[in-house]
Amino acid sequence: MRVTKLHLFFFVWSILSAIHCNNKSDFDIVPFIEYLSISTNQLHQIGTERDTLRIVLRFEDGDGDLGDRSNAQDIEIIDSRTGIALPNSSIPMVPILGSENGISGELTIRLTFIPGIDMCCILPNGRQCETLAGFAQDTLQYLLRIRDRAGNWSNQVSTDMIFVQCE
């Protein structure tokens, strides 16, 4: 099965501007995330323009050890149709702040897709990136979780349903 290629960018500014440092952390050292929104629920298999999807999450981490300088895959984004994680997903280094380093904030993930290459419909017969009369759209959700530098995975959340226009 073909693994989807994508360009994944995190808006570091949105992370750093939204981080709250807590003097006494009430957060668990295992990261917690909450799904907030997506920028669109419509993507396209056919076309010449790139599609961009922004996923916004709220996060908490009791010891503030999010992000990794080694660009290790510390965010998992799984296509619900295939169960396969999108590659190259990492959180930028979040500086250690405060005396106990509990942090919370919002994380905006930007996924950019090239229609017919990075974003494809999966037909009922299992074929991808093709059209089929009567199969006008496919649906998917992204399942997400993050990992801190200690190796703790957060809870998993899912996006709203996303519709991929096949024709």
- Give the pLDDT confidence score for residue 167 in this predicted structure: 82
Q: 77 — phi, psi (to 5°)?
A: -125, 110
Q: What's the whole-number mean pLDDT along residues 61-90?
A: 86
Which of 103, 106, 105 shows the shortest CA–CA distance to 27?
Answer: 103
- Give the pLDDT confidence score for residue 10 in this predicted structure: 41
Tally of structural domains, the chain: 1
Q: Are 154 and 147 in contact (CB under 8 A)?
A: yes
Kindly report the CATH number assigned to the domain that includes residue 40: 2.60.40.10
- Give the pLDDT confidence score for residue 73 in this predicted structure: 82
Checking if the pLDDT of 2 tops 50, the result is no
- Residue that wins the pLDDT comparison between 11 and 131: 131
C-alpha span between 45 and 103 (Å, rounded): 38
On whether residue 125 sits in a domain, the answer given is: yes
On whether residue 1 sits in a domain, the answer given is: no
- Give the pLDDT confidence score for residue 63 in this predicted structure: 86
On whether residue 2 sits in a domain, the answer given is: no
Task: Assign 3-state DSSP to the chain and report helix, strand, coil percentages, each to 5.
Answer: 5, 40, 55
On whether residue 112 sits in a domain, the answer given is: yes
C-alpha span between 57 and 49 (Å, rounded): 26
Pairing assessment for the beta strands 157-158 and 102-113 based on DSSP bridges: unpaired
On whether residue 62 sits in a domain, the answer given is: yes
Q: What's the whole-number mean pLDDT along residues 151-166?
A: 95
pLDDT digit string, tens, across residues 17-69: 444 554 556 889 999 999 999 999 999 888 878 889 999 999 999 888 888 77
pLDDT digit string, tens, across residues 98-154: 546 688 899 999 998 888 788 889 988 888 888 888 899 999 999 999 999 899 999
On whether residue 151 sits in a domain, the answer given is: yes
- Give the pLDDT confidence score for residue 95 in this predicted structure: 72
- Residue that wins the pLDDT comparison between 94 and 60: 60
- Tally of CB atoms within 10 A around 33: 19
Domain coverage including residue 16: 7-165
